[in-house]
Amino acid sequence: MKITKKIRLELVRRAAAAKENAYAPYSNFRVGAALMTDDGSVFEGCNVENASYGLTICAERNAVFQAAMHGKRNIIAVAVASDDDVFITPCGACRQVLAEFTNGSAEILLTTPDGKFQSVKLSKLFPTPPALKKLAGNHNT
């Protein structure tokens, strides 16, 4: 599926909308994400904090897990939105999770609250992700 300007703008819009549902009472740093899979399905996520910080989940992983729960395994684009005036990138944990469900060429749309965005390939943000050999017979991929 080709990622058009219209699709990019829709993902940016949906990431910004997802950010509004963020639960960030400790950091006050709200993040939203919207991703598209190779069949055109879109899934959103927001960050959800916890008083035990290790239990917090980022918006990007939240969206990936939503897609996986629906059987979607091939992510082609992800938009990330926050309240910051500068472009933020996915954290290391999110990059690793994204790498699991893309071929490295996924487009990452970094956004600002005023709707500006820039595109970068996941392979540029995470050029050599750790990888394990997948077991034969795993029918969930």
DSSP 48-117: B--SSGGG-B-HHHHHHHHHHHTT---EEEEEEEES-SS-----HHHHHHHHHTS-S--EEEEE-TTS-E
Q: Tell me whether residue 100 is one of the annotated catalytic residues.
A: no
Contact assessment for residue 141 and residue 115, using Cβ atoms and an 8 Å cutoff: no
What is the end-to-end Cα distance of the chain in Å, rounded? 19
- Provide the CA 23 distance to its chain's centre, in angstroms: 17
**DSSP three-state, residue 122:** helix
Annotated catalytic residue, options 44, 49, 60, 107: 60
> How far apart are the C-alpha atoms of 61 and 94, rounded to whole Å?
6
Q: Which residues are part of the catalytic machinery?
A: 60
